[in-house]
């Protein structure tokens, strides 16, 4: 057997043929290692569908690499050579192949990056940790951008990214004369029998084997395994995105904040899981969206809204993550400590909006950003749920969730647990917002128009109780101070009814 010069470790969220570790290596002399690891599937108890998606996508990527001439050692979860962890699996491969060095692209999550730091000493080999160039900015560049700023607002970062990429730009000015069309993207949607659906894909032999494995080994994890419809190859992920651009993107902008009972996807792309594991390239998908706008098939508000989510929000939260880790995951500005209610797992609640969001999360390992922010996240904020418990729930249940993207969205945006580092205000809302942006309330046991009492929407009393409990902190926020003043103007007996209604409901949890 020829001497292996480099042992190239490819992680499960690095399914990209141009990965820096692969680009720095040679198929003629180097060997790729990929592994399905028990530790990675269980460091939180991931949704069954999430595990199946990643294992199938990894196996298909290994075949893609073999087709490109690479020798790939792929260790399945049930293989005799399975060692359970990155470090143990690497040690076994080093003992077998005696490489001169290990080459790996930097990890996306802090805990794995910390593991990598110890591999050189543990394995007595040089370990080359290369930068991940699949993102449009680097942690060091974000740190430089953040240095000296009093507020790290995404909008200003996004404008810099537009200038850097040239997306939707005319010279040094944004097309349409505005950077942001978000004000046009908040329309409620109506039921539409012709609403597009994300592409669904049949199971090949690889996926069938993975589904059997996950059913046998992770049957007690949260979520439904079937029906399983995800793309698991690069070609199918690209086809799914092309279908979104053609069929759903034209109306995505108008209705990206809308929610409808029985319609989990509406006009959303449902491709974050493909982006975050490396099957899709973020700049390439943005160029496709820009081209659709320039061709006249997509309105500007839709194109800008989508591109902002990718080069603005996605890159921004990654920058925040690496700027503030470790420790960011324990942020708790409001001191919330209530346990996560059981209905986040069972969906057994009379609140129709929460029931719908949790049910589709269980079924699809998916909910769009407003369902996460303004339903499950909003409820947790108002009810005083421990933000770390909520963070772990989001990390478990969504197929697109990796800590670098999920943690800042939860701790910073959803729960305001970082005290305003990321968001300009707490995203707290009463039932009126949910009623305006959805049709959930029409079929709910609770009355969204009642503030207090046993039949009142729980979001209403909890909203005002949140203002009362945190008046000193919330009242200092210029975007929230008016709501505190409104609460202060309620008669004393109304404030008492709010406190009683909130306490009664919270006790029932």
CATH of residue 350: 1.10.579.10
Structure tokens at 288: 């496709």
Return the CATH number at 192. Answer: 1.25.40.80
- pLDDT (average), residues 125-152: 95
In a domain, 408, yes or no: yes
Residues 183, 305: Cα–Cα separation, whole Å: 10
Per-residue pLDDT, averaged over 451-479, amounts to 96
Report percent pLDDT > 70 for the chain.
99
Sign of CA pseudo-dihedral 214, 216, 221, 226? positive
Kindly indicate the confidence band of residue 217, based on its pLDDT and cuts at 50, 70 and 90.
Answer: very high
In a domain, 88, yes or no: yes
Q: Is residue 17 part of a domain?
A: yes
Could you tell me if 324 and 404 are in contact, meaning their C-beta atoms sit under 8 angstroms apart? Answer: no
Q: Do residues 270 and 414 both lie within one domain?
A: no
Do residue 157 and residue 68 come from a single domain?
Answer: no
Among the candidates 107, 130, 153, a domain finishes at 130
As given in the structure block, the two tokens for residue 191 are 């039921």
Query: Among 110, 130, 150, where does a domain finish?
Result: 130
Residues 126 and 144 occupy one common structural domain: no
Query: How far is the C-alpha of 253 from the C-alpha of 190, rounded, in Å?
Result: 15
The rounded distance, in Å, linking the Cα atoms of 351 and 380 is 13
DSSP assigned state of 384: T
Residue 259 located in a structural domain: yes
40 assigned to some structural domain: yes
Please report the pLDDT score of residue 109 as a whole number.
97
Cα–Cα distance, 441 to 3 (Å, whole number): 66
In terms of domains, do 316 and 359 share one? no
Residue 175 falls inside a structural domain: yes
In a domain, 298, yes or no: yes
**pLDDT, mean of residues 462-479:** 94
Same domain (yes/no): 431, 362: yes
488 and 353, same structural domain? yes
381 lies in the same domain as 303:
no
Q: What domain range is 291 assigned to?
A: 139-196+248-324
Convert the pLDDT of each residue in 109-123 to its tens digit.
Answer: 999 999 999 999 999
Q: How sure is the predictor about 194, in pLDDT bands with cuts at 50, 70 and 90?
A: confident
Residues 422, 311, single domain; the answer is no
What pTM does this model have?
Answer: 0.96
Average pLDDT (135-162) is 95
* Residue 27 falls in which region: left (phi positive, over 0), alpha (psi -120 to 50) or beta: alpha
From residue 322, give the alpha-carbon distance in Å to each of 115, 215, 373.
16, 35, 22
Would you give the distance in Å from CA 192 to the centre of its chain? 27
- Say if residue 63 is in the same domain as residue 161: no
Strands 173-174 and 101-105: unpaired
**Which of the four pLDDT bands, split at 50, 70 and 90, describes residue 2?**
low
Same domain, 353 and 436: yes
In a domain, 332, yes or no: no
Average pLDDT over residues 73-99: 95
For the record, the structure tokens of 432 come out as 């009126």
Q: In the listed set 104, 130, 156, which residue is the last one of a domain according to the structure?
A: 130
Say which CATH number the domain at 51 has.
3.40.50.620
Domain shared by 311 and 349, yes or no: no
Instruction: Report whether pLDDT(373) > 90.
Output: yes
Confidence at residue 1, expressed as pLDDT on a 0 to 100 scale: 47
- pLDDT (0 to 100) of residue 183: 83
Across the chain, mean pLDDT equals 96
Looking at 98-188, list the stretches that DSSP marks H as alpha helix, in order from N- to C-terminal side.
Answer: 110-117, 119-123, 139-146, 154-165
Q: How many domains is the chain built from?
A: 3
Could you read off the pLDDT of 249-280 as tens digits, one per residue? 999 999 999 999 999 999 999 999 999 999 99
354 lies in the same domain as 497: yes
């Amino acid at each position: 057997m020829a001497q292996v010069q480099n042992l190239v470790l490819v992680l499960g969220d690095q399914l990209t043929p141009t990965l820096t570790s692969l680009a720095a290596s040679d198929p003629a002399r180097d060997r790729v290692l990929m592994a399905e690891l028990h530790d990675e599937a269980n460091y939180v108890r991931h949704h069954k569908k999430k595990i199946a998606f990643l294992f199938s996508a990894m196996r298909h990527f290994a075949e893609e690499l073999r087709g490109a001439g690479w020798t790939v050692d792929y260790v399945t979860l049930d293989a005799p050579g399975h060692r359970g962890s990155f470090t143990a699996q690497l040690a076994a491969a080093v003992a077998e192949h005696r490489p001169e060095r290990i080459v790996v692209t930097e990890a996306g999550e802090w805990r794995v990056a910390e593991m990598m730091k110890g591999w050189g000493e543990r394995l007595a080999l040089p370990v080359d940790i290369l930068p991940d160039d699949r993102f449009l900015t680097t942690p060091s560049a974000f740190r430089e951008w953040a240095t000296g700023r009093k507020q790290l607002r995404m909008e200003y970062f996004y404008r810099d990214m537009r200038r850097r990429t040239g997306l939707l730009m005319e010279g040094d000015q944004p097309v349409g004369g505005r950077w942001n069309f978000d004000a046009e993207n908040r329309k409620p949607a109506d039921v539409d029998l012709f609403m597009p659906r994300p592409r669904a894909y049949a199971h090949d032999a690889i996926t069938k084997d993975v589904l059997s494995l996950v059913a046998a080994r992770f049957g007690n994890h949260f979520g439904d395994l079937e029906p399983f419809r995800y793309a698991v190859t690069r070609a199918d992920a690209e086809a799914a995105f092309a279908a979104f651009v053609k069929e759903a993107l034209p109306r995505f902008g108008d209705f990206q904040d809308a929610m409808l009972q029985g319609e989990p996807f509406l006009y959303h792309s449902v491709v974050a899981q493909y982006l975050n594991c490396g099957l899709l390239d973020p700049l390439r998908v943005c160029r496709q969206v820009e081209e659709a706008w320039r061709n006249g098939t997509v309105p500007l508000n839709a194109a800008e809204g989508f591109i902002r989510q990718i080069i603005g929000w996605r890159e921004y939260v990654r920058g925040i993550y690496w700027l503030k880790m470790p420790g960011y995951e324990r942020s708790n500005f409001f001191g919330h400590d209530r346990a996560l209610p059981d209905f986040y797992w069972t969906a057994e609640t009379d609140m129709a909006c929460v029931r719908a969001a949790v049910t589709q999360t269980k079924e699809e390992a998916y909910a769009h950003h407003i369902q996460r922010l303004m339903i499950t996240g909003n409820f947790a904020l108002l009810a005083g749920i421990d933000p770390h418990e909520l963070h772990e729930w989001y990390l478990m249940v969504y197929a697109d969730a990796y800590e670098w993207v999920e943690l800042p969205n939860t701790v910073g945006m959803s729960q305001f647990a970082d005290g305003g580092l990321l968001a300009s205000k707490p995203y707290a809302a009463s039932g009126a917002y949910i009623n305006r942006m959805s049709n959930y309330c029409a079929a709910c046991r609770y009355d969204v128009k009642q503030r207090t009492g046993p039949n009142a929407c729980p979001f209403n009393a909890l909203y005002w109780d949140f203002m009362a409990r945190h008046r000193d902190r919330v009242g200092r926020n210029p975007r929230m101070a008016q709501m505190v003043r409104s609460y202060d103007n309620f008669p004393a007996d109304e404030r008492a009814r709010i406190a009683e209604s909130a306490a009664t409901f919270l006790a029932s949890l």
